[in-house]
Amino acid sequence: MAISSINKSVGSFMNYTTKKLSKSLEKGLKQPASYAAKLMVISFISKDAVNCALYTGQSLNNKKIPEDKRKFVAFLDLFNGIINVGGQALSFVLFENLLVPKLESIYTGVLRYNKDGQKLKKVVSSKAALSEDNIYKHVEKALKDNADVITQKVKGVDVSEVAKDINAVTKSVMEKVGHSGKKGGDIVTGLGLLMSALTTNALIKRVASPLIATPLAGKLSDSMDAKAKAKKEEDSKGNDLSTQVAGTINNPLPNHPEDGSKLNKKA
């Protein structure tokens, strides 16, 4: 009973989250390919943001990391995080809007684009594998090649009459294999996911980010180490009595008047 109550409570909460996400989930239904790619990038970026904050803070305070490497490690985490989050988001937007539609059109023959805030499509090739024209040709041939099989397996059907209605047949076949059908849908979704993974996670996060972040982190940590070292030296010079010359009446300190009057004047 307790488990059932827990399931009911969690179920209600999940019901609530579903309603809150309903507009987004609706987009996922209408544009499954680009939505899947978007979720992949959100997954990467959300973890990178958390990693950045935690790793940087923890690395700075981690006694187990040798002291001479600690700042470098922490700054590397910080710069990596900044470049990962910003760079991946930017590259996704660019590739998703510019590159991916062009790559899709190689397979589908249809180019999707935005105009005046509307999402439109135009046919750019009749030779692409999943284009209407190509599917039509295949359907025409398949009806001829499979006439006997159809007559045998589907009762009351005259294949020649079905063939006269080839436009309707092609439309139904397109729903299965065309650019908006299962096969086309898989190709377009998979292409989007592969491009997202390569352009964001591989290119930005694993290549660009370390190449840029490593030297930046090195320079910043070196600069901070140098400043810290200079400050230490200055402090140690100020505290070391053996390096100071004691002022006396006969041997006044440099820059002080011989009568010592300035000594009595304070700013």
Partner 1 sequence: MSRIEPVNLNRFSQPKQNAVDSNIASKQSFGRGFSDLPDKSKKDIVNILVGDINPKLDKELGWGPLRKTYEYLAHTKGEMQNQLVNALFTTTLAPFFIAFNPFSDKSKEDKEYLALRQPISAVIALTGGAAMTKGVNVYLDKLYNEGFNKAIDLRMEPNNSYLKSIYKKSDAKSKGVKFDDWAKDFKAKRKETFTMLYSENPDNIQIKDKVISLKDTNKVIGRDIPNLDTPEALKEYLDKNNLHNRKLSDLLKEEFNFEFYEDGKAKPTNLNSRLSEVKAIDFLSEIGLVEKGKVDDSKLKQAVLNIRQDKYKGALAETLGISKEKAKKAFEIVGMDTSRNIEMSVGEDVGKASSMSMGQLFHQLGYKVKDGKIQEFINQPIPKALDKLKEIFNGKLEDFNNKADLKYFTENILKNKITKLGSYASNHKTWIGIITNIFTTGVTCTVLNWAYPRIVEALFPNLVAKHPAKAEKKGGNK
Both tokens of 19, joined, read 């309603």
Contact status, residue 189 vs residue 179, Cβ threshold 8 Å: no
From the CB of 243, what's the least distance to partner 1, in Å? 24
By C-beta, is 118 or 264 nearer to partner 1? 118
Site track 144-173 with partner 1 (rule: CB under 8 A), x = hit: -xx--xx--xxxxxx-xxx-xxxxxxxxxx
Both tokens of 267, joined, read 């700013």
C-alpha torsion sign, points 119, 125, 131, 137: positive
From the CB of 140, what's the least distance to partner 1, in Å? 9
For the chain, state the CA radius of gyration.
35
How many binding residues for partner 1 (CB under 8 A)?
Answer: 112
Site track 53-82 with partner 1 (rule: CB under 8 A), x = hit: -xx--xxxxxxxxxxxx--xx--x------
DSSP 252: P
Give residues 221-250 in contact with partner 1 (rule: CB under 8 A).
none
From the CB of 32, what's the least distance to partner 1, in Å? 7
Residues 6+ positions from 161 with CB-CB distance below 8 Å = none
Q: Could you say whether residue 257 binds partner 1 (CB under 8 A)?
A: no
By C-beta, is 120 or 253 nearer to partner 1? 120
The three-point CA angle 256-257-262 to 5° equals 75
Q: Could you say whether residue 32 binds partner 1 (CB under 8 A)?
A: yes
